[in-house]
């Protein structure tokens, strides 16, 4: 069935360093790839997304890259801050109509001052 | 209004109780979703409503009964739950079509079944 693998499961960085989280999807028809940040006790928050007709997208300190051939996509966070500490989930879906998201298992990011 | 709201925030119920979770959005979204999330796991899709019709039921036990009274509201009726049903229940909505796929989550209802 459809599957999204996410690595690493935990990531610890020093404040100011960069963090990279990687995902691989199995469904070749997937064309929409969102990233969610979930702080403890809070809702998953959409932080950035990318569609298959785009290779890279940036929003201030965060960026997402997509390699359709390899079925890989990655989240890059630069100049990390303690408030970036959270669990990050990648997801993949076929866009159009309602949207059945297939989530990765999540990455727990800890940014140490 | 760019938020999905959910009530109640917390719910404790016995295995013989009947309760309902409520979700509301006023973004004009025509797709609404129920997810279940266990600790340290990703959200797990339960139901999808598209234009007020049930489009996906991910083989959810019948003790969970969804309802979509109108395009802004989504309910989840609970009956005879088991302790393993304790989890965070998240509602979400998305525009459906119009070239937009973003899915927005509500704050969730923390359910404890005793």
Chain B hits for A39, CB-CB cut-off 8 Å, are none
Tell me the per-residue pLDDT of B29-59, one tens digit each, with 9 for 90 and over. 999 999 999 999 999 999 999 999 999 999 9
Buried b (16+ CB within 10 A) or exposed e, A8-23: eeebebeeeeebbbbb
Helix (H) or strand (E) holding B113: strand B109-113
Nearest by CB to A98, from B48, B104, B107: name it: B48
Tell me the per-residue pLDDT of A57-99, one tens digit each, with 9 for 90 and over. 999 999 999 999 999 999 999 999 999 999 999 999 998 778 8
Q: Which is it for the CA torsion A23, B91, B100, A86, positive or negative? A: negative
| Cβ-contact A112, A45 below 8 angstroms | no
DSSP character at residue B41: S
Nearest by CB to B43, from A44, A51, A95: name it: A44
Q: Is A97 close to B97, i.e. CB distance below 8 A?
A: yes
């Amino acid at each position: 069935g459809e599957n999204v693998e996410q690595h690493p499961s935990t990531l610890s960085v020093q404040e100011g360093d960069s963090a990279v989280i990687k995902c691989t999807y199995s469904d070749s028809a997937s064309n929409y790839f969102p990233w969610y940040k979930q702080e403890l006790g809070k809702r998953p928050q959409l932080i950035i997304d990318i569609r298959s007709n785009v290779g890279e997208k940036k929003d201030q300190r965060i960026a997402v890259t997509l390699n359709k051939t390899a079925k890989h996509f990655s989240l890059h966070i630069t100049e990390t801050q303690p408030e970036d500490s959270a669990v990050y989930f990648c997801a993949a879906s076929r866009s159009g109509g309602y949207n059945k998201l297939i989530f990765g298992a999540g990455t727990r990011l800890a940014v140490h001052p | 209004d760019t938020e999905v709201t959910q009530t109640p925030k917390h719910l404790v119920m016995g295995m013989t109780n009947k309760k309902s979770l409520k979700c509301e959005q006023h973004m004009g979204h025509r797709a609404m979703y129920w997810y279940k999330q266990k600790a340290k796991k990703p959200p797990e899709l339960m139901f999808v409503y598209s234009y007020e019709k049930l489009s996906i039921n991910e083989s959810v036990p019948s003790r969970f009964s969804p309802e979509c009274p109108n395009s802004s509201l989504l309910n989840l009726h609970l009956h005879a739950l088991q302790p393993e049903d304790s989890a965070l229940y998240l509602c979400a909505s998305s525009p459906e079509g119009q070239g937009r796929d973003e899915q927005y989550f509500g704050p969730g209802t923390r359910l404890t079944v005793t």
